[in-house]
Structure 1
Amino acid sequence: MQSSNGRSHGTGDGPESSAGHREEHGAAAHEVPFEDPWYDALAAGWGELDGTGRPAPAVPPARGEAGATAPRTRDVYLEVQRSEAFQEVRSRYRRFVVPGVAAFLVWYAAYVIAATTAPGLMARPVVGAVNVALLAGLGQFISTFLLTWAYARHARLRRDRAALELRWDTQELTRGVQGGAS
């Protein structure tokens, strides 16, 4: 059996091989075009030869892929990136993330430095077998979860709605560019 581009499929246990077996046994097998986009996409660059023993040339892009819509779509994204709404979303993100990451890294570095330079302090018992090192280690986990919760809350309350509106506007603009090019 052949694919839609005329290449024959390999032998195996699938429906292609059963058609071949029917032909061998004398059954009337009619030719049905086999449309498999993954198989048909196997073209130049995938190790196929062009018939002369050389690698096949690259496949040219489909109509309209690299045509006039690419620069205009790019312009839409550049326009959105330069917009005041996008800059506001980015600044809200940075105003939370930069101090949060800095505080967490300082807290983590303080824990590691204290563990290596002050083992006496870290070994000091607090309650029974619980010492300062154990509490600081648990504090690392707790602070990670608190920072994650705070980030999700900040995103939900201060950025998500504006980012969603921006995404919606961008999709509408790019849809207009692509729709106008057809």
Structure 2
Amino acid sequence: MSNDAQPPVADDRYTELQNSAEFVELRRRFRRFVFPMTAFFLIWYFLYVLLSVYAKEFMGSKFVGNITWGLVLGLLQFVTTFAITMYYARWADREFDTRAEALAQKMGGAL
């Protein structure tokens, strides 16, 4: 048996994977989801911070009873975080994970 018949080196497999059309499409789908979602959350977070610094009167004003707008918006930060996480998990299960698994199988199993 000659040395020419050896399986490709692991680095070659990774390079082949990165250059495949399927991987490029998978990466594009991931970025199309993650970048806008990250931008949305960062804008929402920094809006809260800026309101806390520059709109103290608004943030300290009563929403209902002794609950202020600052508290409501602060709690909505947590709600938003959990909602985005759940949305990402559902999206990944539906759109991303199955394609990634199929690509891994095509490339010869777990890389």
TM-score normalised by length of structure 2: 0.88
Larger radius of gyration: 1
Task: Please name the residue that 1:119 is paired with.
Answer: 56
* Runs of 4+ residues deviating >6 angstroms: none
Q: Distance in 2 between matches of 1:172 and 1:94?
A: 24
Question: Residue 126 of structure 1: SS of its match in structure 2?
Answer: strand
The alignment's C-alpha RMSD in Å is 1.8
Aligned mate of 1:147, from 73, 77, 84: 84
1:72-91 deviations in Å (ceiling 9; x for gaps): 32112111111111111111
Q: 1:120 to 1:149 in 2, by over 3 A?
A: same
Contact 1:123–1:131 under 8 Å retained in 2: yes
- Count of matched residue positions in the alignment of Structure 1 and Structure 2: 106
User: Relative to total residues, which structure has the larger helix share, 1 or 2?
Assistant: 2
Task: Please name the residue that 1:72 is paired with.
Answer: 9
Q: Which has the higher contact order (CA 8 A, sep 6+)?
A: 2
AA partner of residue 100 (structure 1): M
Identify unmatched segments of 5+ residues in structure 1: 1-67, 175-182
Is 1:168–2:105 an aligned residue pair? yes
Identify unmatched segments of 5+ residues in structure 2: 1-5
% identical aligned pairs: 39
Aligned mate of 2:45, from 108, 125, 134: 108
